[in-house]
Amino acid sequence: MDACDPAGPSGRRRGIARKHITSIALLSTSIYSISPRRGVMTWLTDLADIVPPPHTRIPLSLESFAQLFLPSLLLYYATAVLVLIPNTFYARLALLPVTLWAAFRTGTRLDIPAPWNDDRLIYLNQGLTLAMSTLATRAVIWTFKFSPLYRTPHPKTPRSSESKRLALPLVLTDALELCCNLRGIGWNWSAGLHIPRESKPTHSRPLFLFYTIRNFLLSLALFDALHYSVQIFGPTTVGAAVGGSIFDESLPFVQRYLRSTLITYLAGLTVCLGIQIGFYFMSIIGVAVFHNTPESWPPIFDAPWVSTSLSEFWAKRWHQAFRDLFVSCGSRPLARLFGRMGTVLGAFIISGLLHVAGLWGMGRGTELWGAGGYFLMMGVGVIIERGWAGAMTKTTGRRVRVRGWIGWVWTMAWVVFWGNWLVDSWARKGLVGSAFFPEGQRPVQTLGGLMGLKLDLTVH
């Protein structure tokens, strides 16, 4: 049962208790903040100290890993263990502030690429911030669950006292699986999740691994080719670590935006393949090393390029890795305030904030409109198409939906048009200039050499 929807007397009592705890905490904070001994400038200085500037981050080492990274992982895992056990709400509540602070310290004080001294690797810090933001958000969601999470199908018969004493190893392994399972496949909290149809053979583990490894290698080559095709639009600007805008002001208006739109389209395909590569890699590890069943790793994408509506694109065909985060922290709270519109905008607002935080993690500032506004406009687009469908349904007397080739044109146009500003924010921060392969070992360079082509991959 969700925390924001308690039922019964015990649920109401817990709700009242939480309100009192929150009120006392806020009152204490307010009294402390307005104390005569603390001026406004002191308060601002303390706030600045909480968020350290990028140049003060600590390079990754065994010592910094143990001090900054490991505590976040252990606290995250501890919360996962507790959410599987009944009557642990107050233990999770007590652990939450420590977990959030640990995740914040990890995301703001650790510099992963520092030992290599290569600006093309700062995307690793973006990944770190995204990971810590996800970790913190999941810890909040798990804290306010009043019924234990469990794998499905849930056993209908109660366990004996003997089996309960032996259940700890199962709880520990389930907690580890919960930490790594973003979509909730095989768990009771993934209701409504769209799972794409599997095209790889799942009856045989070796065959599944063979096709997954094959797809992984092919995707690596295609990813690098697409990444290179974006970088060559501006080897010293867009494609460089220093960054640059995809909008070339020296070009006439039409040519400028045709160029930026082509860059956006290619960058979108690159991102899609990058996520797919990560998923293939995790699938191989899960099935080969941890002996997961092939059925537990269904495709992460469902051909988003054939979507005929924005709703279909984002709710079904795009990856659903963060669905639980967006629904629990965005859709449900805002739905209580604004109804169906809040359901849509809530999810996209949380998505936007997550991407804003990730871009900030690179240490070059962030882009609220570019990184966050894109996802807000996706929510606006979904509302527009639902409003149009509703109006047409009332007018014609029959149910009308956005679909067909017109729906496909609408969907692709909306996604790519607003994507111009998202990709531009990435390019200006140097994300497009990232290096994912060692110097001289890019797949596109190897393939070009086999075809007798000498590609200019000089780093600027």
pLDDT of 50 reads 76
Q: Is the pLDDT of residue 3 over 90?
A: no
CA-wise closest residue to 319 among 403, 444, 193: 193
b (16+ CB within 10 A) / e for 217-256: eebbebbbbbbbbbbebbbebbbbbebbebbbeeeeeeee
Task: Give the pLDDT mean for 361-375.
Answer: 93
Residue with tokens 């290569």: 118
Q: Is the pLDDT of residue 374 over 60?
A: yes
pLDDT of 454 reads 66
- In the chain, helix, strand, coil percent, each to 5? 65, 0, 30
- Distance between CA atoms of 141 and 130, rounded to whole angstroms? 16
Amino acid identity of 115? Answer: P
- Distance between CA atoms of 405 and 262, rounded to whole angstroms? 21
Crossing angle of helices 205-231 and 253-288, rounded to 10°: 160
pLDDT of 39 reads 52
Q: Is the dihedral of CA 120, 122, 126, 131 positive or negative?
A: positive
Across 31-35, 37-41, 442-446, which has the greatest mean pLDDT?
Answer: 442-446
Q: Which has the higher per-residue pLDDT, 210 or 10?
A: 210
Q: Which tens digit of pLDDT belongs to each residue from 124-180? A: 999 999 999 999 999 999 999 999 999 987 544 444 444 444 488 999 999 999 999
Q: Which of 69-83, 232-246, 322-336, 443-457 has the lowest mean pLDDT?
A: 443-457
DSSP 119: G
Q: Which of 26-30, 239-243, 275-279 has the lowest mean pLDDT?
A: 26-30
Task: Give the pLDDT mean for 423-434.
Answer: 97
Q: Is the pLDDT of residue 260 over 90?
A: yes
Q: Which two tokens stand for residue 208?
A: 């599944």
Q: Which tens digit of pLDDT belongs to each residue from 42-71? A: 544 555 567 888 889 999 999 999 999 999
- pLDDT band (50, 70, 90) for residue 27: very low
- pLDDT band (50, 70, 90) for residue 14: very low
Task: Extract long-range pairs of 29-36: CB within 8 Å, 24+ residues apart.
Answer: none
CA-wise closest residue to 195 among 185, 209, 205, 204: 185
pLDDT of 439 reads 82
Percent of the chain with pLDDT over 90: 77
Instruction: Tell me the pTM.
Output: 0.85
Q: How far is CA 457 from CA 118, 224, 268, 271, 450, in A?
A: 16, 12, 21, 20, 16
- Distance between CA atoms of 430 and 28, rounded to whole angstroms? 43
Q: Is the pLDDT of residue 29 over 80?
A: no
Asked if residue 71 has a cis previous peptide bond (ω within 30° of 0), the answer is no
Q: Is the pLDDT of residue 451 over 90?
A: no
Amino acid identity of 427? Answer: A
Residue with tokens 């905490």: 25
CA-wise closest residue to 384 among 412, 414, 405: 414
pLDDT of 49 reads 64
Task: Give the pLDDT mean for 399-425.
Answer: 96
CB contact at 8 A, 43 and 53: no
Q: Is the pLDDT of residue 34 over 80?
A: no
pLDDT of 456 reads 64
Three-point CA angle 435, 215, 132, nearest 5°: 50
Q: Is the pLDDT of residue 20 over 50?
A: no
pLDDT of 48 reads 55
Task: Give the pLDDT mean for 200-211.
Answer: 96
Q: Which two tokens stand for residue 159?
A: 């366990």
Q: Which has the higher per-residue pLDDT, 124 or 10?
A: 124
- Distance between CA atoms of 329 and 344, rounded to whole angstroms? 12
pLDDT of 11 reads 47
**Nearest-10 Cα torsion for 54, 365, 371, 144:** 50
Q: Which has the higher per-residue pLDDT, 34 or 197?
A: 197
